[in-house]
A and B are shown apart, each in its own frame.
Chain A
Amino acid sequence: MHNAKCTCWNCPAIDLAGKVDFRACGQSGKQFDKTLDSTQETHIMAECKRRPELGLYDPMAITFQECPQWQETPYGYILKDMRVMILGIDGYLGWTLALWLGSLGCKVSGVDNYNRRNWVKERGAHTIVPISRMNQRLRAAKEILDIDIDFRQIDIYTQRERLKEFIDEVKPESIIHYAENPSPAFSMIDVEHAIEVQKNNVLGTLALLFTIRDTVPESALLKLGTMGEYGTPLTGRPLFEGIFPAEAILQWGGREWSLGGELTPRDPVSFYHVSKVQDTFNVYEACKYWWLRSFDIMQGVIFGVHTDQVAADPRLRTRLDIDEWFGTIINRFVAQAVIGIPLTLYGLGKQIRGFIALRDAMECMTRLICAPPEPGQYAVVNQISGIHSARQLAYTVAKIGREYFNLPVQIQRVENPRVEADEHPFEALYEKLPKRYGFKPKVTIDEEITRMFELFLTPEVKKRIEERKQVIMPKTWWSGVKKEVERLELLDLKGEIEEDERLRMFKVHR
């Protein structure tokens, strides 16, 4: 088990109240040392909120493996009935994770203000996989999976007091923060939308950090960032996991320094991505000032529709969007293939990104929940399971659509409405999740795409795709222009798919 040797130092049930010394890396600990009793061997003595009978003890003395409160699961030891709060629980990932963690025995609570439902409605779009209202979702979770979810409708930015009361009441041991607007294109519509996204994301997260400080500072915060924060540097230098390793050396003027521990440069690609970068800095600072513990999860693009829990009943399904604002690439390609719109590559279509399947993303989150960071630790992981170019994905969808579903799938290149390099090197590191937290991807792209075809070809979903096909083609230009993109080229698929086969043998993967 990857977390067997973690100790109470990592555990959210530890109570360090008043015994810590907030400071920066170069700041003296002297002031604090005045109170030092030199006969004491371990200064930080802690209490356990779950096992008060232990009294004051050395938090390094007990490992997760030894503690009866930590129980074995396939994803690591997890706290018995762990209290997990999901912010943004009504969303694509939030709902899926709620059911996943509930099935593992966690006590799940959650918050949402239905922003996402409203934003999608405002754009004249809809989720192609129909989803129930929250009260029906909650009832179905109980009825079908025997999961109780404690839900409150709260806006984490404007209703800070209510959120604080709820957190104080539940005392979550882990807080998963998904409650943000996830759309680059939405943030580029106009000034109102850019402000809406930045205000909601940046200020919501900032408010949350203060609330955690004041209510549950020992709780682990898992906050979602995105691989898009890094951009795609044309030098091809690796995209490290958020922080430079000590072996990264800066040479200048004949001298050299280790960059170890410094945040790596960010080059966001939309005002949405800027909001995520700002979040990163706010979380980083909060860990430094207040000893909060956080994983900043630089997540790749998620694709797919499946976990065992969401597939257990139509009322348990999670949302899936394909419109130009909220539809992510693979999900959108499969929908286009199903209704006969040629898959749309923007520009050259040679953009390369990191991806991960919905189910695998849930497993990664669980593994991280199982291994909370240490006090004050700001840790970053790149959460992806493979690297692919847009073209490669289009070929894969086209091939599966043609061969297994007998659909005449075509691919077109259209004008790129974004301001981005459409041909660039890309070397992302994603070693921590496999090496430290024992994650191995379980879902292949082909397998999940096949599942999506199966679901999208059911009459109800197919009808819902048809109903909103006019919102798939982008009209939101980063330049501010308002017009539908024009086709540049319809690709000759035969040769391209053969080329793709060669590419696959070759593997763009690391």
Chain B
Amino acid sequence: MSDCECLRFTDKNFNQEVLQSDLPVFVDFWGSWCPPCKTVEPIMDELAKHFDGKVKVGKLNVDQNPATRSLFNISGAPTFILFKDGQALERIVGARSKKQLVLFIEKTLESQQPE
């Protein structure tokens, strides 16, 4: 089902929506056969609300969009990558709680700040 607050990225819009984005983008690379991915679904929607206006939050189905999957060497699902200015800053693999993901995003962005 595609009822979701977070964005949906595809091979087609990835460049525009993620790599060219002015805001940092947090992407969940997921598969429908992956139970941990399914448990993260509601959290992605909450993150979209939580970071509204600060970080774009969205997900990409690795089976429907294999070009992007291949480009970023996704070998496990779910893989989360935080992008900024067209660069993949940091990634983690496997389900996480909302708190853990918020922390991951905030820490990664912080470490990018100039001293």
Contact = CB atoms under 8 A, between A and B. Distances in A.
Contact of A36 (B12, B33, B70): B70
Most buried by B among A63, A291, A377: A377
A376 B32 CA distance: 6
Interface stretch (A21-29, A143-151, A212-220, A301-309): A21-29
A33 B75 contact: no
B33 A288 contact: yes
A379 B64 contact: no
Nearest to B30: A25
Contacts of A9: 32, 64
A42 B64 contact: yes
Interface string B61-102: 011111101100111111000000000000001111110100
Interface stretch (A200-208, A243-251, A337-345): A243-251
A27 B17 CA distance: 27
Binding site of A, secondary structure by majority: helix, strand, loop or mixed? loop
A390 to B, nearest CB: 33
Identify which of A20, A29, A244, A371 gathers the most chain B CB atoms within 10 Å of its CB: A29
B9 to A, nearest CB: 12
A60 B32 contact: no
Interface string B50-63: 00000000000011
B97 A41 contact: no
A43 B63 contact: yes
A260 B40 contact: yes
Find the residue from B63, B70, B100 having the highest chain A CB count within 10 A. B63
Interface centre among B36, B37, B40 (most CB of A within 10 A): B36
Interface of A: 3, 5-7, 9-10, 20-21, 25-30, 32-33, 36, 38, 40-44, 59-60, 63, 243-247, 249, 258-262, 287-288, 291, 371, 373-379, 436
Interface of B: 1-3, 10-12, 31-40, 43, 62-67, 69-70, 73-78, 93-98, 100
26 contacts: A3-B1, A5-B3, A6-B1, A26-B93, A30-B73, A32-B66, A36-B70, A41-B10, A42-B10, A42-B11, A43-B63, A43-B64, A44-B63, A244-B39, A246-B40, A246-B96, A247-B98, A259-B95, A260-B36, A260-B96, A261-B39, A262-B36, A291-B33, A374-B32, A374-B33, A376-B32
